[in-house]
C-alpha cells in the first residue's frame, strides 16, 4: 500500500471511536486509540536510515486531476522529523489522557475523534508537496484544534478560546492561500519541490514579495508570533493533554515547518531574513517578559511557548543568511538551521513534560493558581523531579538538552553582527542583545514555574483538594519525556546524524547535497567564547532577579489592561459584531418587497453598467424569425391575462387569469415545436391552479375599495428598468455572439457521446446531471418536510383528542 494513505489512518480510525466508546464502556477508549500513533511512529522510525543517508520518498494519488491537484506525500529529513514528533508525542499524549480523563464523566468519543482528526491534519501538512493539499490540511488543523480547545464547550472561556484561535489562524490561512496562488502563478506549478528548483528565477517576479508576506502571515498566526500570539494563552482552556499536544509539539510547530520548508524559495530575499529573524526574536523577548505576569501554571507555559517559538523562528531567519555567503564551510551561519531543528526537538521534550506536570498539579490539587501552590516537593516528589528537569532544560542549564541548543542560539545571534548584507552590519548588534535579555527572562520564568509550585510553604487551606502524588500511569509520559531531556544531552551528535542533519539539508539544499555534508559537531564545552560569557551573565543576572522577584514582579500590575492586544482583539470583535448587526438591520427589513427592490436595483445597475462600460449595445434585427398571426394573438392574451390579475376584484377571477398566463406560455411552446416543454408547462399550470383552488378559502379577499393599490414611482422605475435591461441583454446577445451556439455541440454529441435519441432528455440526465440531481434532492427534502409537518400536526390532534 502506498504510504500516502497512512496520513488518513488516524481519521479513519476515528470513525470507529464512537462505536468503541458505546459498546466497551468498561475499557477506556484511549487504549484502542493508542494503537494508531504507535503503529505510525514505528513505521516512520523505520524510515530514519533512509533519510539519514539523504534518501527521499514520494507517494501520491490524484485528487482533482483536471486542476493538477494531488495528495502527494513527500518524506525527506524535515517532514520525517515532524512526522515522528506528531506520532511520538501523540502516543504519549494519548497514554497520558487515559489516566487524566475520567471515562465515566468525559465525552471521550468526541475527544479522541477530534484528536485523530488533528493528527491526520498535521501529518498532511508536513508531508504535502502540493500547495493546495497543504492548504487543505492546514485549515483542517484549525478546525480540529477549534474542536479540541472547545472540548469543554459548556465553559464560556473554552468557547471563547476556541473561537479566538480559529479566527486568527483561519485569517492567516486565507492569507497563506493567496501566497500559494501567487507562487503557483509564478512557477506554473503547485509542487513545492518544483518551486524550490525555480527559486532563483522567481526572485525577480513582481509577485515574489507579496507571496513572501502572505505566506509569512500564515506561519506567524499559526506559530503564535507577535502580534498574533494572543490566541495561544486563551487556548489553555483546553484539557491539558490537548495543550501538551497542540501547543508544545504539533500545531504551533506548523508555522515553523512552513518557514523551514519555504526558506529555500524565499531566503534569497533580505525581507525574508529580516521579517523571520526580527519578528521571531521580538516574540521571544515579549513572551518571556510577560510570562512572569501570569498566575496560572498553564498561562506561564503558554507565554513560555510563545517565547520558545520566537527563538526557533529567529534561528530559521538567521539560517537564510547562509544563502548569501557562497557556501563557506567554516561560517557560523550553518549553526542557525541546525540549532533551530535541535531546539525544536528539545522544546517538544521539555515543554511536553511541563504541560503534563501542570495537568498533574491541577488534577491532584484542584488548582493551577501559582499563588495557592507551594511546598509540593515532599508530597509530589516524582512530579517535582520531572518539573525540575523540564524547567532547567528550558532555562538552558546543563546537563539538559536545552543548554546545548541555547548555546547554539547565542552563537547564531552573535554571527548576525558579522553579516554585512541587508544592513545587518548596522542593526545586527540588536539581535544578540535582545536574545540575551530574552534568555534572562526565560531563566527567571523557568525557575518561577518550578520553585513557586514545589518549594516554599505548603498551603493546604487554599487547595480545593488534598495534594498527593499522581498515579503511576499519569507519570509515565512526562517521565519518559524528561528522560529524553537527559539522554539527548549526552548523545546530541547521534540525534544530529539521525534526525537533525537530514532536516538541515531540506532547509538549505543549495548549501548541502547530503546530510554528511553538514559538518557540525555538538559539544557541551566549546571554550571561553563570547557565548560562554553571555551564558554566565544569564545565570548570574537571572538568578539575582529571581531572588528579588517578589520586589519587582508587582511592576506588572502597572501595565494597563485597556492597552493590550487582547483588548484590541475584543474591541474589534465587538465592533465588527455590532457594526454588522446595525448594517444588516438597514436592509433586513423582513419584507419581501424590500429584498426584491434590492435585487432588481442591483441587477439593473450591474448589467446596464456592464453594457455601457463595455460598449456592448448592438442591436441587429437580421435573421430573426417572422412574427406570425398566432404569436400576436397569444401575446395579446398573455398581456390581457396579466392585467386581469392585477385589476381583479375576485379571487376566482385572479386564479383563472393566472392559469391563462401559464397556458398561453404553453401554447408558445407548442408553436415553437417543443411538445415536451409544453406538456411540462401544462402539467405545472394545472397543478398550480388546482392548489390555489384547494386553498381558496384561506386566500385573502381582493377588494380595490378596501385596499386600493397606490401608484409608486420607484416601483414603476424598477419594473421598467428590469424590462428594458432584460430586453437589451437579449437583443445584444443575439446580435453579437462571441461563441457558437452550444446547441450545435448537443446535436453532434447527443447520440455519439451520450447514447440517447431525445436531445432534451439527454441534456437533463447527462449534460446537466448534477443540476437535475440537486433539483430532485430539493424536491425530496421538501417532501420530507411536508410529511413531517403533517405527521406532527396529526400527532398533536391525536394527543388533544386523548386528553379530551
Query: Are 504 and 625 found together in one domain?
Result: no
**Distance of alpha carbon 496 from alpha carbon 52, whole angstroms:** 9
| pLDDT at residue 76 greater than cutoff 80 | yes
358 alpha-carbon distance from chain centroid: 27
| pLDDT at residue 424 greater than cutoff 80 | no
Q: Would you say how long the chain is, in residues?
A: 804
pLDDT grade for 94, boundaries at 50, 70 and 90: very high
Domain region containing 385 = 270-547
| pLDDT at residue 186 greater than cutoff 80 | yes
pLDDT tens digit sequence for 774-792: 888 998 998 898 888 888 7
pLDDT tens digit sequence for 628-675: 888 889 889 989 998 888 787 788 888 889 889 989 999 988 888 888
Q: What pLDDT is attached to residue 159?
A: 92
Q: What pLDDT is attached to residue 230?
A: 92
Query: Are 772 and 709 found together in one domain?
Result: no
pLDDT tens digit sequence for 282-341: 999 999 999 999 999 999 999 999 999 999 999 999 888 777 665 443 455 678 899 999
Q: What pLDDT is attached to residue 803?
A: 56
Give pTM, 2 decimals.
Answer: 0.80
Q: What pLDDT is attached to residue 673?
A: 82
Query: Are 401 and 320 found together in one domain?
Result: yes
- Going 101 to 155 to 294 to 453, the CA torsion angle's sign is negative
Query: Are 630 and 599 found together in one domain?
Result: yes
Per the domain annotation, does 723 fall within a domain? yes
Query: Are 785 and 713 found together in one domain?
Result: no
Short-list 615, 635, 610, 623, CA closest to 725? 610
Residue 714 CB partners (closer than 8 Å, separation 6+): 597
Per the domain annotation, does 238 fall within a domain? no
Whether the ω angle into residue 429 lies within 30 degrees of 0, i.e. cis, is: no
pLDDT tens digit sequence for 252-266: 899 999 999 999 999
Per the domain annotation, does 470 fall within a domain? yes
pLDDT grade for 98, boundaries at 50, 70 and 90: very high
* Angle (deg, nearest 10), helices 270-291 and 297-319: 160
Per the domain annotation, does 496 fall within a domain? yes
Per the domain annotation, does 615 fall within a domain? yes
For the chain, the farthest-separated pair of C-alpha atoms sits apart, in whole angstroms, at 107
| pLDDT at residue 757 greater than cutoff 80 | no
Per the domain annotation, does 658 fall within a domain? yes
How much of the chain, in percent, has pLDDT values that exceed 70? Answer: 94
Q: Which of 703, 728, 744 finishes a domain?
A: 744
Query: Are 597 and 516 found together in one domain?
Result: no
**Distance of alpha carbon 187 from alpha carbon 134, whole angstroms:** 17
pLDDT grade for 573, boundaries at 50, 70 and 90: confident
Q: What pLDDT is attached to residue 557?
A: 82
Q: What pLDDT is attached to residue 354?
A: 96
Q: What pLDDT is attached to residue 608?
A: 87
pLDDT grade for 706, boundaries at 50, 70 and 90: very low
For residues 40 and 690, the model is more confident at 40
Rank 326-335, 367-376, 566-575 by mean pLDDT and report only the highest.
367-376
Q: What is the number of domains present in the chain?
A: 3
Q: What is the mean pLDDT of the chain?
A: 88
The mean pLDDT value for 696-721 works out to 72
Q: What pLDDT is attached to residue 795?
A: 66
The mean pLDDT value for 340-347 works out to 96
Residue 265 CB partners (closer than 8 Å, separation 6+): 183, 195, 196, 199, 202
Query: Are 677 and 792 found together in one domain?
Result: no
Query: Are 405 and 477 found together in one domain?
Result: yes
For residues 301 and 768, the model is more confident at 301
**Distance of alpha carbon 160 from alpha carbon 473, whole angstroms:** 32
The mean pLDDT value for 102-116 works out to 88
**Distance of alpha carbon 141 from alpha carbon 157, whole angstroms:** 20
The mean pLDDT value for 432-448 works out to 95
Q: Which of 715, 744, 773 finishes a domain?
A: 744
Q: Which of 547, 578, 601 finishes a domain?
A: 547
Complete DSSP assignment for 719-788: HHHHHHHHHHHHHHHHH--SS--HHHHHHHHTTTTT--S-HHHHIIIIITHHHHHHHHHHHHHHHHHHHH
Q: What pLDDT is attached to residue 60?
A: 87
Per the domain annotation, does 511 fall within a domain? yes
Query: Are 770 and 669 found together in one domain?
Result: no
Q: Which residue has the cell 525577480?
A: 204
**Distance of alpha carbon 296 from alpha carbon 9, whole angstroms:** 36
pLDDT tens digit sequence for 164-179: 999 999 999 999 999 9
| pLDDT at residue 403 greater than cutoff 80 | yes
- 569-582 per-residue burial string, b: 16 or more CB within 10 A, e: under 16: beeeeeeeeeeeee
Q: What pLDDT is attached to residue 329?
A: 37
Per the domain annotation, does 237 fall within a domain? no
Query: Are 542 and 622 found together in one domain?
Result: no
Query: Are 274 and 404 found together in one domain?
Result: yes
pLDDT grade for 691, boundaries at 50, 70 and 90: confident
- Going 589 to 591 to 594 to 598, the CA torsion angle's sign is positive
Query: Are 720 and 762 found together in one domain?
Result: no
Q: What pLDDT is attached to residue 289?
A: 94
Amino acid at each position: 500500500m502506498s504510504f500516502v494513505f497512512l496520513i488518513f489512518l488516524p481519521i479513519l480510525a476515528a470513525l470507529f471511536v464512537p462505536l468503541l466508546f458505546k459498546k466497551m464502556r468498561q475499557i477506556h477508549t484511549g487504549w484502542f486509540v493508542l494503537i494508531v500513533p504507535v503503529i505510525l511512529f514505528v513505521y516512520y522510525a523505520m524510515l530514519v536510515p533512509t533519510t539519514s543517508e539523504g534518501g527521499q520518498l514520494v507517494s501520491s494519488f490524484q485528487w482533482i486531476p483536471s486542476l493538477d491537484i494531488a495528495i502527494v506525500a513527500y518524506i525527506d529529513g524535515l517532514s520525517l522529523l515532524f512526522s515522528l514528533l506528531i506520532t511520538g508525542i501523540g502516543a504519549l499524549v494519548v497514554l497520558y489522557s487515559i489516566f487524566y480523563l475520567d471515562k465515566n464523566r468525559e465525552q471521550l468519543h468526541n475527544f479522541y475523534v477530534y484528536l485523530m482528526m488533528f493528527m491526520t491534519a498535521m501529518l498532511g501538512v508536513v508531508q504535502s508537496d502540493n500547495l493546495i493539499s497543504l492548504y487543505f490540511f492546514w485549515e483542517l488543523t484549525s478546525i480540529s484544534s477549534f474542536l479540541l480547545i472547545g472540548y469543554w464547550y459548556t465553559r464560556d472561556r473554552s468557547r471563547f478560546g476556541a473561537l479566538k484561535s480559529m479566527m486568527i489562524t483561519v485569517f492567516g490561512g486565507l492569507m497563506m492561500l493567496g501566497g500559494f496562488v501567487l507562487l503557483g502563478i509564478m512557477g506554473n506549478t503547485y509542487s513545492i519541490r518544483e518551486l524550490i528548483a525555480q527559486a532563483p528565477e522567481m526572485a525577480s517576479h513582481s509577485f515574489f514579495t507579496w507571496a513572501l508576506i502572505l505566506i509569512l502571515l500564515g506561519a506567524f498566526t499559526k506559530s503564535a508570533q507577535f502580534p498574533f500570539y494572543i490566541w495561544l494563552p486563551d487556548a489553555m482552556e483546553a484539557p491539558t493533554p490537548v495543550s501538551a499536544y497542540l501547543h508544545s509539539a504539533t500545531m504551533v510547530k506548523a508555522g515553523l515547518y512552513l518557514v523551514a520548508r519555504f526558506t529555500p524559495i524565499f531566503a534569497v530575499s533580505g525581507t525574508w531574513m529580516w521579517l523571520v529573524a526580527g519578528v521571531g526574536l521580538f516574540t521571544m523577548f515579549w513572551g518571556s517578559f510577560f510570562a512572569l505576569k501570569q498566575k496560572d501554571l498553564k498561562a506561564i507555559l503558554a507565554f513560555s511557548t510563545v517565547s520558545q517559538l520566537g527563538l526557533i523562528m529567529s534561528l530559521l531567519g538567521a539560517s537564510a543568511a547562509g544563502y548569501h555567503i557562497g557556501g563557506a564551510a567554516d561560517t557560523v551561519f550553518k549553526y542557525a538551521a541546525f540549532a533551530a531543528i535541535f531546539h525544536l526537538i528539545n522544546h517538544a521534550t521539555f515543554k511536553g513534560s511541563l504541560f503534563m506536570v501542570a495537568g498533574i498539579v491541577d488534577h491532584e490539587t484542584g488548582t493551577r493558581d501559582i499563588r495557592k501552590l507551594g511546598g509540593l516537593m515532599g508530597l509530589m516528589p516524582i512530579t517535582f523531579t520531572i518539573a525540575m528537569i523540564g524547567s532547567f532544560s528550558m532555562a538552558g542549564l546543563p546537563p539538559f538538552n536545552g543548554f546545548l541548543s541555547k548555546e547554539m542560539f547565542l552563537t547564531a545571534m552573535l554571527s548576525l553582527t558579522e553579516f554585512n548584507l541587508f544592513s545587518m552590519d548596522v542593526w545586527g548588534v540588536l539581535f544578540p542583545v535582545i536574545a540575551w535579555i530574552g534568555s534572562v527572562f526565560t531563566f527567571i520564568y523557568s525557575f518561577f514555574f518550578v520553585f513557586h509550585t514545589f518549594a516554599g510553604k505548603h498551603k493546604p487551606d487554599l487547595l480545593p483538594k488534598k495534594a498527593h502524588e499522581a498515579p503511576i500511569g499519569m507519570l509515565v509520559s512526562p517521565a519518559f519525556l524528561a528522560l529524553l531531556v537527559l539522554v539527548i544531552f549526552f548523545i546530541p551528535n547521534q540525534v544530529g546524524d539521525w534526525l537533525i542533519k537530514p532536516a538541515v539539508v531540506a532547509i538549505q539544499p543549495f548549501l548541502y547535497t547530503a546530510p554528511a555534508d553538514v559538518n557540525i559537531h555538538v559539544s557541551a564545552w566549546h571554550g571561553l567564547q563570547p557565548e560562554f560569557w553571555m551564558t554566565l551573565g544569564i545565570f548570574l543576572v537571572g538568578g539575582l532577579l529571581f531572588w528579588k522577584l517578589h520586589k519587582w514582579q508587582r511592576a506588572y500590575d502597572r501595565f494597563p489592561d485597556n492597552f493590550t492586544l487582547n483588548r484590541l482583539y475584543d474591541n474589534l470583535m465587538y465592533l465588527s459584531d455590532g457594526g454588522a448587526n446595525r448594517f444588516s438591520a438597514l436592509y433586513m427589513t423582513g419584507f419581501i418587497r424590500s429584498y426584491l427592490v434590492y435585487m432588481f436595483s442591483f441587477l439593473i445597475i450591474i448589467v446596464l453598467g456592464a453594457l455601457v462600460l463595455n460598449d456592448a449595445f448592438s442591436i441587429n434585427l437580421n435573421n430573426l424569425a417572422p412574427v406570425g398571426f398566432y404569436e400576436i394573438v397569444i401575446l395579446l392574451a398573455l398581456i390581457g391575462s396579466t392585467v386581469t390579475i392585477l385589476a381583479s376584484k375576485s379571487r376566482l377571477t385572479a386564479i383563472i387569469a393566472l392559469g391563462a398566463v401559464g397556458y398561453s406560455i404553453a401554447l408558445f411552446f407548442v408553436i415553437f415545436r417543443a411538445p415536451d416543454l409544453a406538456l411540462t408547462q401544462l402539467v405545472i399550470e394545472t397543478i398550480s391552479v388546482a392548489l390555489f383552488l384547494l386553498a381558496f378559502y384561506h386566500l385573502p379577499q381582493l377588494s380595490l375599495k378596501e385596499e386600493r393599490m397606490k401608484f409608486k414611482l420607484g416601483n414603476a422605475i424598477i419594473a421598467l428598468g428590469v424590462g428594458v435591461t432584460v430586453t437589451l441583454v437579449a437583443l445584444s446577445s443575439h446580435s453579437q455572439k462571441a461563441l457558437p451556439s452550444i446547441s450545435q455541440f448537443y446535436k453532434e454529441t447527443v447520440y455519439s457521446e451520450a447514447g440517447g435519441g431525445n436531445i432534451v432528455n439527454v441534456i437533463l440526465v447527462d449534460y446537466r446531471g448534477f443540476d437535475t440531481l440537486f433539483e430532485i434532492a430539493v424536491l425530496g427534502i421538501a417532501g420530507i418536510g411536508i410529511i413531517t409537518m403533517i405527521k406532527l400536526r396529526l400527532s398533536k390532534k391525536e394527543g388533544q383528542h386523548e386528553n379530551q
